[in-house]
Structure 1
Amino acid sequence: MDSQSSSKHHIAMFPWFAFGHFTPYLHISNELAKRGHRISFLLPKKAQLQLQHLNLYPDSITFHVITVPQVEGLPHGTETVSDIDNSLQPLLVAAMDLTRDQVKGLLHQLKPDFVFFDFMHWIPELATDLGFESVYYIIISAASVAIALVPGRKVPKDRLLTEDELMEPPLGYPSTKILFRKHEARSLIFLSYEFGKGITFYERNTIGMKQCDAISFRTCRELEGPFCDYIQNQYGKPVLLTGPVLPEPSQSPMEDMWVNWLAKFEPCEVVFCAFGSQLTLDMKQFQELVLGIELTSLPFLVALKPPVGAATIEDALPEGFLERISGKGMVCGTMVPQTQILNHPSVGCFVNHCGFGSMWESLMSHCQIVLIPHLGDQILNTRILSEELQVAVEVDKDENGWFSKESVCEAIKMVMDTDSKVGQFLRGNQEKCKTKLLKPDFVSNYIDEFVQQLDKL
């Protein structure tokens, strides 16, 4: 059955109020709207204004504004994670919980067939009253959920997890390669933290997954099949895959400043480094990173947020750095056209944090891949690419999780040296992987099958 013969659905989207969640929810909305389905997208006012340009089907995708209530301790006017320090996220999720009656009233009026959600674990309860199917749509890797957010992961309610408990994967976890190392397992401690009023992060997510009608991932079986099967067995309900839903390639030409700068260099010569819009480095690690890239003697473009304690990127750079890299390197603290830069013939290496979006962009690009993960899901994504698929190199860190300029330089040179056997091996594996992912209709076939699975619900 092709997408044209599927029944047409009305689907409501209610993601966590963070741009890292809005964007992938809007990407899947575009794919569903392209196939004739109607989308109602719930979000705050400021986010609507910022996301409007990504709505490719405004006749089919309608934004509905949710007002975020005031919660004590949350700065006035807060609507998304971008408005606050990360430490205040539990207050924002508590505010979103207070939108329950507002959301219920809107859904009663809209009468969707499905509601896609993530952190709002009470959505499945509304489904009983209002008569829709609930889909827990997860925008991180299945490997991350499989190790952290399954019933087999025992998380005490009265204390924080110990380091030994954090190190131990849940019973039946399907990989001996995609694991945390000792210093990394601490990144799971947040599972025990309160995330909203009277509920932990672990409870909020596992309750939502236990009570929903289906769990869905923005991934494909070719990369994460065993993890999806494990999650399906743990929760005893359908796990639906959308494939790697990526934004449509930009039709706009790249700005002259980037075109002109990149044009100065030979094919595949430039090192491009970016860590996404959310990650902020410690000052020392920021300086080790840029110094390590400089040590390679290769031309480079670094796009990072100013590190902790610095108002601007320029304030954070080591003394004499700008003078030394003049004409050969560029460091900026503003957003850059990442996909277009990765596709430029002069760019040959992508140094990134392996967030889920960057993971897919790495695989689809022609660049060698060097990874410096920082958070839990990034670490496991990195292991998928470096250990399982063997398409990337991970920068070495010490027992405290710190990397040095020497380890950054070594990793980049390992893959960029034209005579490097490691680089040749990784590039060969990446080409095989890319061939699968870029097969005609690979992505669209996943979406069509996903719609068929929704029909069965």
Structure 2
Amino acid sequence: MSDQTLHIAMYPWFAMGHLTAFLHISNKLAERGNKISFFLPLKTRSKLQHYNLHPRLITFIPLSVPHVDGLPLGTETTADIDLSLGSLLATAMDLTRPQIEQSLIELKPDFVFFDLSYWLPAMLRGLATNIKSIYYSVINPATIWFGLRNLVLPRKNQLDEAYRSFSIKLQTHEVRAYDAMMNMKYGSEVTFSKRLMTSRSDCDAICFQSCRELAEPFSNYIEIRMNKPVILAGPVMPDPPSSQLEEKWARWLGGFEPRTVIFCALGSEYILTKQQLQQLLLGFELTGFPFFAALKPPTGVESIESALPEGFEERVKGKGVVYGSWVQQPLILKHPSVGCFVTHCGSGSLNEALLNECQLVFLPNILDQIINARMMSGELKVGVEVEKGDEDGLFTKEGVCKAVKAVMDENSEVGKEVKINHAKWREFLSSKGLESSYIDDFVQKLHKLLG
């Protein structure tokens, strides 16, 4: 390695959204000659190999994930389990610490990028090395701002006053869910809140995959509250896929007029109840538009087909597809027939959505997704969120239909507004040189951290 390049180890949380986000920034850094050592579970390598655009500089370091009682044998990522087992997977990840420690002693990187392994900064200090720890957040800075803003502090921070104009209001069920999530045990020794706060307070710097135009007020707030450098790496958009859309889907989508198909994908971890899945699909049917829904089967249901509403398949035959497995989301979003994307508002999906022309409907599930949805629908006005009950958090087929028609109907004033705003942000995020300038600045700031 030359003096001008860095060696960075990546150790993300064992969830596909985190793993792919860390690999996206790895590609951007490797493009500039920096060396990456990427820790990931052994069998997960095959799922990420095709995303590694610089195999000579990005080396996958396999980890053996220890078995923890209560986890299905062979569990490696959150995609292998129900969300309720996340704490056990966190325990399993913590048990990879000896492997990480030994590897870092041998690799001697300049930095380790991490997120949920709260013990890592203290471990690095204990090794008496100059390895710096970077908390690399895959979630919006506004989510962390929201959490910090709700902490009870000894004295009122004047910075809070500047945020009175920005308000994220949570519904009753969301407040309950947020409190429960923060206080739940996540791993063998810590709560979820403690895991997050320790990771952020002990690291050498915090980094977000966002840009000043979207996140500067929140990143400034976090920098002051956490008393450490906060770096924005830019939007870190995934590189355009080089593969082709699977023939059967290309053929099906090709049978419809431009911008008429609803595409729905809620990620690998958002599992609807059978009742809510049926309400979602019946809502699509009510719109009268063709639709393609990629959804995981409800808990306790063997296949997506067995969870469909009675008579549904016959009614939508030829104009509705419900698929219970993985699909090529970036390629489907680029297809000219797709006119609306119903998304759970994960950061990766939102990045892909903002770069495409389809209208946006938001159906968030957990806190960071909810904050993203409120930002996108309330502040940026680039889409519409599906209404949910305040107490129970449930949506109806009528609510789904209403949100989709609000953005899809040609005469909708809301649709016209979000289309204009979406086009503005798409043009900005895809503007020549934007991402490159952010990554170059990011690398310079990393060099400065090394002193």
TM-score for the superposition, normalised by structure 1: 0.92
**Number of the residue aligned with 2:142:** 143
CA RMSD in angstroms, aligned pairs only: 1.9
CA distance in 1, matches of 2:70, 2:403: 43
Note the C-alpha offset of 1:391.
Answer: 1.0
1:144-184 Cα distance to aligned partner (Å, 9 max, x none): 11112x386249xxxxxxxxxxxxxx956836333322221
**Number of the residue aligned with 2:408:** 416
User: Does the aligned pair in 1 maintain the 2:264–2:292 contact within 8 Å?
Assistant: yes
CA distance in 1, matches of 2:444, 2:253: 44
SS of the residue aligned with 1:423? helix
User: Does the aligned pair in 2 maintain the 1:173–1:230 contact within 8 Å?
Assistant: no
SS of the residue aligned with 1:89? helix
CA distance in 1, matches of 2:129, 2:36: 17
**Number of the residue aligned with 1:318:** 309
CA distance in 2, matches of 1:132, 1:274: 39
User: Please, which moves more after superposition, 104-113 or 75-84?
Assistant: 75-84
**Number of the residue aligned with 2:156:** none
- Letter of the structure 2 residue corresponding to residue 183 of structure 1: H
SS of the residue aligned with 2:67? coil
User: Does the aligned pair in 2 maintain the 1:213–1:237 contact within 8 Å?
Assistant: yes
CA distance in 1, matches of 2:149, 2:316: 51
**Number of the residue aligned with 2:7:** 10
Note the C-alpha offset of 1:337.
Answer: 1.4
1:182 lines up with 2:188 in the alignment: no
Moved over 4 A (4+): 170-173
- Letter of the structure 1 residue corresponding to residue 170 of structure 2: F
**Number of the residue aligned with 1:213:** 204
- Letter of the structure 2 residue corresponding to residue 288 of structure 1: Q
SS of the residue aligned with 1:377? helix
SS of the residue aligned with 1:130? coil
1:303-332 Cα distance to aligned partner (Å, 9 max, x none): 111122321111011111111111111111
CA distance in 2, matches of 1:124, 1:108: 14
**Number of the residue aligned with 1:192:** 183
CA distance in 1, matches of 2:388, 2:98: 47
TM-aligned CA distance change 1:449 to 1:276, over 3 Å: same
CA distance in 2, matches of 1:208, 1:151: 18
**Number of the residue aligned with 1:160:** none
- Letter of the structure 1 residue corresponding to residue 434 of structure 2: F
CA distance in 1, matches of 2:141, 2:38: 24
CA distance in 2, matches of 1:74, 1:322: 35
Counterpart selection for 2:425 from 422, 425, 433 = 433
**Number of the residue aligned with 2:275:** 284
SS of the residue aligned with 1:354? coil
CA distance in 1, matches of 2:109, 2:251: 49
CA distance in 2, matches of 1:74, 1:184: 28
- Letter of the structure 2 residue corresponding to residue 422 of structure 1: V
1:270-309 Cα distance to aligned partner (Å, 9 max, x none): 1111111211001111000000010011111111111223
Could you list the runs of 5+ residues in structure 2 that have no partner in the other structure? Answer: 154-158
CA distance in 2, matches of 1:448, 1:275: 33
Counterpart selection for 2:106 from 103, 106, 109 = 109
CA distance in 2, matches of 1:9, 1:274: 37
1:160-218 Cα distance to aligned partner (Å, 9 max, x none): xxxxxxxxxx9568363333222211221211111112211111111111111100111
TM-aligned CA distance change 1:308 to 1:96, over 3 Å: closer
Identity of aligned residues (%): 50
Could you list the runs of 5+ residues in structure 1 that have no partner in the other structure? Answer: 156-169
User: Does the aligned pair in 1 maintain the 2:79–2:268 contact within 8 Å?
Assistant: no
**Number of the residue aligned with 1:166:** none
TM-score for the superposition, normalised by structure 2: 0.93
Counterpart selection for 1:407 from 393, 399, 421 = 399
CA distance in 2, matches of 1:199, 1:10: 31
CA distance in 1, matches of 2:123, 2:289: 56
- Letter of the structure 2 residue corresponding to residue 441 of structure 1: G
CA distance in 2, matches of 1:361, 1:75: 32
Note the C-alpha offset of 1:74.
Answer: 3.3
User: Does the aligned pair in 1 maintain the 2:231–2:442 contact within 8 Å?
Assistant: yes
- Letter of the structure 2 residue corresponding to residue 353 of structure 1: H
Counterpart selection for 1:153 from 143, 151, 154 = 151
SS of the residue aligned with 1:261? helix
**Number of the residue aligned with 2:255:** 264
Number of residue pairs matched by the alignment: 438
